[in-house]
Structure 1
């Protein structure tokens, strides 16, 4: 027997439309798939119906009103009542089936005109997944934009490509795109991918409980004899900063903050490290500002220097970055003002706007190419 195609909900009267929405919400709250039929007991149906405003303006016998509403929904192919019914004056089904929502039909995406180095992707288009197609499309737009092909770390390039040419829906964390894509003819071949997008893969810093007093395998290391500790939230930016340090600077160490771990690891700083200043550079989002603020509070309790922002690096981030939707919910104005107060005065308004809008700037926007070609940021370390 062929099931009748459900009518669009926009064709339903208001009361029926609202009850249907409440039933679907009940199914969602009870972790039922929207694409399989869901059994809902009459008690839940009654409870949902009773929350509808102006559900019975004529003052009719309410079970009769509900019976009529359920009949309309069944006629539209949206629910089906059980044959077993209540023994009441107006008999109602003891349960209903909430029928599956129609799956949205994904429009077939036209194949783009390829940049000449990407022509071979035409052979892969038909078998590509939606995620792969979105990625191929963004890569193609990037290559056709005549980009600067100066080789950079892969996360910085991912942010440049998908933070500029990819949608926020497809690429919510654009800098991590290649961390997650591992299948297909392009993404399963790291060497080929690096050649096409002109990238390399710097090793992450080694993890250690204390700040080393001498070079540790060339990564997580002491970088000079200075008295300044620079903490960087993410590993790629840590590498880029270390590689681009000028010959003369006040840094003693550059440390990978490892996200929120810095709140605790600041306790590892001792007198022997001879640190008189602690500077920080991270993402501009709720957690990215909370981390140094809380670490600074811990440092003060331990008699250590306060954690201060790297003023010019944050200025560069605000100038170069393209905001994206953050994972965290937007902050209210009071919380945003409190967090932004950690930053220099000239950066607080822009930061507050980001936080209350629930958006973020990934620090990888201030990447290897920028750090290699500019010297303004040196003032943060001298």
Structure 2
């Protein structure tokens, strides 16, 4: 990764975007910039996926925007690539906080703002806390989302800001804000200190637990609960329960399943966990199912992310299902399918 946090390919593309004379930059220009730093890339089978992933990095960083219509995309080969990208307008810098009397527990705020301007969300929280602190010793300790609602009128705002610079040592804490993190109980089966496997649906969770116990699996299986996976992983992180090795994920092959996987990846990054990777053997078993459901095709962004995350031929196959509007539920990998194979082989990080 470059100093900007971008991969080398994305950094080369960013330079090409900045050097381009117009706002709209053709994808061919980006590919030439990437090829200039990786001469062997165009000959490798995953080159298109790597190009798509680099463009996605630029989008995620707010540096470029992709076309919003189908006509703006090359859909002949997966992953889809935009015909062009548009350079994003530079963000308007937030004004620095004006001089004001800060509560003595917030004496550090002007220094932080002078180092790098605070965002409007950060300023909003600090202003609210500054008003609230004088009477803080009179209030009870409440769940974090209740305090967030009372301070900001948004139950999840504090949760989002908690992973940022305002909550590093010596600044804000949940104790100072008289609140505590509260999460639903995490359903998991801890069989040992080895691999962690997150499973989207309950039926598959139960079947995998049964197979794992029967085969002496030395790891942990966690019920992700679909879109609730973020709160499940946050609950584990808040308890200091941290995996020692890469975490594997297995979910539905459809838009919802990929959305949950993406949320799991983002939550793990915020918690400082090892990377969450797809459990390739289980996804391969799911794709072997003869059944497909017809669903709404996935967006180009979802297909691109999936191709980069799963990678290789398997990533191409899953992306093709998403593009065609074909879904495979993870219940396709039921207990009867799991039975014959050694469980450790089914959760190998390959």
- TM-score category by the smaller chain? 0.3 to 0.5
* Between structures 1 and 2, the one with greater helix share: 2
Q: Which has the larger radius of gyration?
A: 1
Higher relative contact order (CA 8 A, sep 6+): 2
TM norm structure 1:
0.40
